[in-house]
Amino acid sequence: MLQLLSPTISYPSPLFHLTSHPFPPKPHFCSTHRLSFYLPPKMASFSGFLAKSQMGMTAGGGGGDGANGFSSLMDYVGKGGLDVGDDLLVLLYHIQFACKRIAALVASPFNSALGKHSALTGATSGAAASDRDKPKPLDIVANEIILSSLRNSGKVSVMASEEDDAPIWINDDGPFVVVLDPLDGSRNIDASIPTGTIFGVYNRLKELDNQPTEEKALLNSLQSGTKLVAAGYVLYSSATILCASFGSGTHAFTLDHSTGDFILTHPSIRIPPRGQIYSVNDARYFDWPEGLRQYIDTVRQGKGKFPKKYSARYICSLVADFHRTVLYGGIAMNPRDHLRLVYEANPLSYLAEQAGGKGSDGKSRILSIQPVKLHQRLPLFLGSLEDIDELESYGDVQQKVNPGNNGSVTAKCAVITMSTVMVNCERQ
């Protein structure tokens, strides 16, 4: 079985920790049937209880060590629990290791300095994000941290990131493809508002192995969300929470800084079929289509199919808004063509469905949409099944015209119309 060797995760100085352990060690195989770590078997306090570290814990279908009911992430997805397979277990280990480093970085008083210098992950001054978003330095740092971990895992053939213009081919033999948004909501860091990492995992399409590298990297990254084998997000807030699904429910694990373990705290999450919260930037109410305005007006007056008045809660951090929606129900939404299908909409919709909820673009199931571009954008509505079904029944809920662009859109339409008229006149 698999033996993963990891340094003890402690955070006396995030700057020291991040620079002294640039890469997680490679996993080694041994004949034992347990995951073992350098962490000594001990009792560690966690949320007012006593929980054992990784050694001696079992998952038991969502349980833990029997006496205390706690289980680490690695135990829960290993042979004692979900048994996702050795390859996916190694990949998950490296993803969660990278996210621990990002959590320390985001919380560090030195993060501004780290973001501006290249000592940690290489030069960042020339990097640029896709489309129009100009990343803050921490976006680039987080991206490089995850890329380093994925390379070191030996299990990833392609990484496609929101921060890169094109997918990165890593390993010809890697069985998995990883798509990710390395640091969602990074614009909020200076105000200490929660941020997050979003990731999705696909199997490599072996039938493309003989294609040119760039082509097979792109096509592997453009798989439909229905083909996801795993997805998750990590919330960096008052607690660091890793929420993931491997096709058998959605489960959340909270980082215990005293041991460095992600501890199972929310097994088999179920999104309530109804909630009383909608999360959207309703300062743009007057830019919305009629159907969306009618829906919001109806539910906040308590006149919808659920006869209670809805409240607005909006953090403007997708991972944070979605995490609250997963726990309490309701809808987290952005009606504009703004969120990315590959990196954000597909992984989060997968998690929503695994928890009994739904992901929609206002008309169609997100996971059924075939990506045609790596950085393809679309409206996104996530949350309670009955709430989203009711929203979709209003029809016109997608905001196709962005605020402030009405004039330019009108002008473009006029030019297109005039061009069409001129062509028709010439043909006559």
* Positions marked catalytic: 133, 139, 162-163, 181, 183-184, 344
Give the whole-angstrom CA distance, residue 243 versus residue 172: 29
Give the whole-angstrom CA distance, residue 325 versus residue 54: 30
The DSSP string of 173-242 is T--EEEEEEEEETGGGGGGT--EEEEEEEEE--GGGTTS-HHHHHHHHHT--GGG-SEEEEEEESSSEEE
Give the whole-angstrom CA distance, residue 388 versus residue 332: 10
CA distances from 296 to 226, 290, 304, 309 (A): 30, 10, 9, 10
CA distances from 125 to 96, 115, 130, 293, 387 (A): 27, 10, 15, 43, 44
Give the whole-angstrom CA distance, residue 86 versus residue 294: 50
DSSP 270: -
Q: Which of 109, 118, 173 is nearest to 144 (CA)?
A: 118
User: Are 157 and 130 within 8 A, CB to CB?
Assistant: no
